Chain A
Amino acid sequence: MATEGEVKTSEDAPPTGKVSTRFDLEKETELRFEVEAGEAAEQVELELLTGMAEVFGSELNRNKKYTFGPGSKIAVFTWQGCSVNLYGKPEVAYVSKDTPMLLYLNTHAALEQMRKQAERDNERGPRVMVVGPTDVGKSTVCRLLLSYAVRVGRRPTLVELDVGQSGVSVPGTVSALCIERPADVEEGFSVQAPLVYHFGSTTPGTNIKLYNKLTSRLAEVFSQRCEVNRKASVGGCIINTCGWVKGSGYQALVHCASAFEVDVVLVLDHERLYNELKRDLPHFVRVVLLPKSGGVVERSKECRRDARDEKIREYFYGFRGVSFYPFSFEVRFSDVRIYKIGAPSIPDSCLPLGMSQDDTQLKMVPVTPGRDLTYHVLSVSSAEDGEEGARKDIVESPVCGFIVVTNVDTQTQVMKVLSPSPRPLPRHTLLIMDIRFMDMK
């Protein structure tokens, strides 16, 4: 089925030496390939020769070369059959007949039916929560469903609650994004005017109270948007969640379902979670169990860390680090106020009378700038400067951007920051994240 050979003669041939492999895919099969991770790894290019094919819901253009960088894990699916060429040496590349795409497509069809009904009856569209343990392809299913929805003319909203691997903004945030066109095959969804809230850590467990609060806030804002935008209301939303499905993580899922008033919960490959949710969610919520794709690979801790780093780099330098040119300038300590959300927990006996531990989790704790601030990512809160009284609103204010501290000079009370826009900072309230980023590429 696969034919190998050096391409030398045709005029649109890649630089000599790149191996080209041709794959002929039958109807409803997919080609899975992985690009080697690491600095030195070679990029792999993909070209559709005949037929039609899609990558996670976005259709491929014929005779266009798509480039995939190190660490990419791609599945090219075809409904009707096609042939594609791969240039370069992928780590793995094989054709699989065994894909749950048909189930996912049926899921989309059911959701679309709900949207149609919503449109007809002047109601709101389906709100879908995708849950499951880590590495079952939650984000991919979200991307798939969103792309399909956009392709039939809907305007769904992606709500990204996965603070570890955010698909929208930098890690450590929760966000919402209106989807207006299918995801780009290489870059994913175009990130324009997202609504981003600061969480500050890569796992919801560090401050579950804040996590739930932000979930509620996003739900509130999304509902407000639905009030003013009929199309968004009909489009509904697809909520991507964290892979933490035990204990507080599970409670957070139930809370999210309630906050967003979800209609459908898609459980990926986890029967126990499916049964638990059936039990703990009211009967009018449809809980659906779906299999994971065989192509999903488990990611190591390092791999996740690299993906996070890459996401922050992308924020400052653009996709593949070539489109944006960030600024570096100095900020005086006296000009900004830096806070951390959530005070360290104290024994109950030390608390003031009548105070419970929960109150500390949403508290704004001023951070004295020091050398340990170096490399931390800071969110620039959009809360208005100046008002001390509005301090607690900062938690619930969206973020207008991020900066990274690259150097701290305690002598002159100045820190150097990496920022996507030139000085001055638009606001002077900064929220510190646990996440660090070293700008070393």
Chain B
Amino acid sequence: MADQNKPDSGAKFFSEILSPSELFAARSRSHKIPVRGQKDFFPNDSDEQRRRLEQSLDEHWSLISEERVEKLGNLVKATWIPSEQRVELQSPAGKFWQTMGFSANGKQHLLPEEALYLMECGNLQVFYRDLPLSIQDGYERFLSSSTVSLQQYQVFGHLKRLGYVVHRFDPSSVPSSYARQLNLPPSRDRAGKQLKRKRSASPTLTSGRTEVQDESTAVRMEEDECDEEKDKKLLESHLTSSPGTSGTQTAAQSSADEDGSRTWWMTDVLRDRSDPRSASGCTHWDFGSIPFPDLGSSGHHSSSLSPPDPSLLPGSLAVGACDVAPWRRRINLREVKMSSKEQTRDKDKHRWDINRDREVRRCRNWAEYRELLARREGKRKGRPAHLWNREVTPLHDPTRPITTEELLDKISVTESTHLLEGASRLKASDEWRICFNVYQPDTVADFKKSSPGKPYSRMCVCSFDGPVPDLRAVKLLAFQSGDVPVVFAVVDHGDISFYTFKDFQLPTDVQP
């Protein structure tokens, strides 16, 4: 007895019984999927092209309309549970159980994409409200924004047909780089893993892509700017403030680090941003009103210091006046012994007070003084002013010789970056995410769902119409994936192409 599952005739479903000749025909029918062949990119209005197109379309239509003949005994029965977005098996699972499905509450379940794939393969019959679902019904019901999208299913099916084991990707299952370094076993038990599979978020995008994108690029620009500034700091803070994790600072420090309160870069309430320059070198102290007990400036001040304001002292100490005179007599006046070499150098320099210079006197702080020095330096070296005194200056000062390697470093203005560089700081985005873990076909024989091991690669599904992943997305996904390569499956109306980004270094001609 055979049953047919015709996509367009649900009503006549049970009434149809095939004759033996029809059964034979069905069995001996070719199971090959027609080859699509070369794709024409451009209509050239030729008869030949039109004929080829029609023929191809016919083949596809006939393929789709073909009756699927399966033995009822070979079909696993299952029920669709829409509230939980999964399929519960009613009869014992087949061979597919090795790589698909999960058990929960003592029942065997399949994820919608797995169920749909098995339906298409002719291994599964899914009932909903006691009526069997056709494959078309399956497409309609199983693929939704809360499960997987059509594109994702296409990739899934494509990989499955090629023999790969494909699982949904769960970000929490990826061990951190630290755990990998220590070679920690992944923290999951059998049940936990299976629950994880069930709970894993559906890889479908839920938000409108274009809107999100505009918004996120704007945000990204801002973030990038900040990132650059923070880059150095963050790097250092990462390294210096966490000696506990990186290992070799003393134990006292690592314990202090655990509470996380004491780091070199700890920030407090930021001062208002309106005046960013105030804290960087524009200070101007009036040392006339700040009384330092200076023994050197004899004559300028009286010989006794007035008592300091108690509010400035620790513990509100109150002290009396201080007589400076005896200290003045006691200060070390001995000549510094200089070697003859140092003496001659001293003379050569012809030292004089820099503060006699009127220009120096005019400087009010270090920034101005330094600028003055730099200006003079530039003048002395006779560098052409039109080149060096503007915002844009030559990359390298020819009077300062450096090695060829450094010079090459300097002129390679765009620096190469590694895929994982800075990726840990990126925020996860909704726009790009990894959908599937893919395991190689040759592992199927001893594949265990409870401990699948390290995937061969991870799939990110995207569309040909959509945007190309930018560096940020590539970095983010590469970081999320850890040491497993990320492959971009690009779907073009059923055609799937795979792309991956690889780290490489440009060769340098000069060896250090």
Contact = CB atoms under 8 A, between A and B. Distances in A.
Interface of A: 28, 52, 57, 59, 79, 100, 102-103, 105-110, 112-114, 116-118, 121-124, 126, 147-148, 151-152, 176, 178, 180, 190-196, 221, 223-233, 245-247, 258, 261, 263-264, 267, 269-275, 278-284, 286-292, 315, 318, 323-324, 354-356, 359, 380, 382, 388-389, 391-392, 397-398, 400-403, 419-422, 424-427
13 contacts: A106-B292, A112-B313, A114-B285, A124-B279, A148-B313, A258-B366, A279-B352, A280-B354, A284-B284, A284-B285, A288-B293, A356-B401, A425-B247
A193 B253 contact: yes
Contacts of B247: 400-401, 421-422, 424-426
Nearest to A402: B248
A105 B316 CA distance: 12
Interface stretch (B27-35, B334-342, B453-461, B472-480): B334-342
B351 interface: yes
A402 B253 CA distance: 14
A247 B342 contact: yes
B81 interface: no
B136 interface: no
A274 B298 CA distance: 13
Contact of A397 (B239, B257, B363, B365): B239
Interface of B: 181, 232-233, 236, 239-241, 243, 246-254, 256-257, 262-271, 275, 278-285, 287, 290-297, 305, 308-309, 312-315, 317, 319, 322, 324, 327, 330-333, 335-336, 338, 342, 345, 351-355, 360-361, 363-367, 369-370, 401-403, 406, 409, 512
B280 A124 contact: yes
Given A124-B283, A191-B253, A247-B342, A229 B266 contact: yes
A227 B351 CA distance: 37
B332 A271 contact: yes
Contacts of A420: 248-251
Given A122-B275, A400-B240, A287 B296 contact: yes
A398 B292 contact: no
Contacts of A323: 251-252
A84 to B, nearest CB: 18
Contacts of A288: 292-294, 296
A380 B401 CA distance: 31
Nearest to A247: B342
A349 to B, nearest CB: 16
A109 B208 CA distance: 63
B397 to A, nearest CB: 12
The CB with the most chain A CB atoms within 10 A, among B249, B257, B367, is that of B249
Contacts of A118: 283
Label chain B's interface by main secondary structure.
loop
B504 to A, nearest CB: 14
A392 to B, nearest CB: 8
Contact of B262 (A180, A279, A421): A180
B363 A398 contact: no
A228 B409 CA distance: 31
Contacts of A151: 314-315
A58 B348 CA distance: 47
B314 A230 contact: no
B312 A113 contact: yes
Contacts of B291: 106, 109-110
Contacts of A193: 240-241, 243, 249, 253, 256-257, 262-264
B88 to A, nearest CB: 48
Contact of B401 (A116, A180, A354): A354
Top 8 closest pairs, chain A to chain B, by CB: A401-B248, A109-B308, A151-B314, A289-B296, A354-B401, A426-B247, A261-B366, A382-B239
B332 A318 contact: no
A40 to B, nearest CB: 28
A271 B275 contact: no
A194 B364 CA distance: 33
Contacts, number: 267
Nearest to B352: A279
A282 B335 contact: no
A380 B233 contact: no
B342 A401 contact: no
A138 to B, nearest CB: 14
A272 B241 CA distance: 41
B101 to A, nearest CB: 40
Given A148-B313, A191-B250, A401-B247, A391 B280 contact: no
A42 to B, nearest CB: 28
B248 A105 contact: no
Contacts of B361: 283
Given A103-B293, A228-B270, A272-B336, A291 B315 contact: no
A43 to B, nearest CB: 22
B463 to A, nearest CB: 36
A67 B91 CA distance: 80
B344 to A, nearest CB: 12
B328 to A, nearest CB: 8
The CB with the most chain A CB atoms within 10 A, among B331, B342, B409, is that of B331
A282 B252 contact: no
Given A226-B279, A289-B294, A400 B246 contact: yes
Nearest to B271: A230
B497 to A, nearest CB: 33
Given A193-B257, A272-B335, A291-B295, A318 B283 contact: no
A124 B365 CA distance: 13
A197 to B, nearest CB: 10
Contact of A284 (B248, B364, B401): B364
Contacts of A232: 268
Contacts of A229: 265-268
A371 to B, nearest CB: 24
Contacts of A230: 268-271, 279
B361 to A, nearest CB: 6
A103 B264 contact: no
Nearest to A286: B287
Given A193-B264, A284-B364, A290-B293, A269 B352 contact: no
Contacts of B401: 354-356, 359
Contact of B331 (A271, A284, A286, A380): A271
Given A283-B360, A401-B248, A420-B248, A114 B290 contact: yes
Nearest to B372: A282
A109 B312 contact: yes
Contacts of A117: 285
A14 B292 CA distance: 44
A278 B243 CA distance: 41
The CB with the most chain B CB atoms within 10 A, among A59, A290, A291, A318, is that of A291
Contacts of B239: 382, 397-398, 400
Given A102-B305, A275-B296, 4 more contacts: A103-B295, A282-B360, A382-B239, A425-B247
Contact of A421 (B248, B319, B354): B248
B267 to A, nearest CB: 5
Nearest to B346: A247
Contact of B240 (A57, A292, A382): A382
Contacts of B236: 195, 221, 398
Contacts of A245: 336
Contacts of B243: 193, 400-401
A109 B309 contact: yes
Contacts of B269: 230
Given A263-B283, A398-B239, A426-B248, A271 B293 contact: no
A329 B359 CA distance: 61
A102 B285 contact: no
A110 B317 CA distance: 15
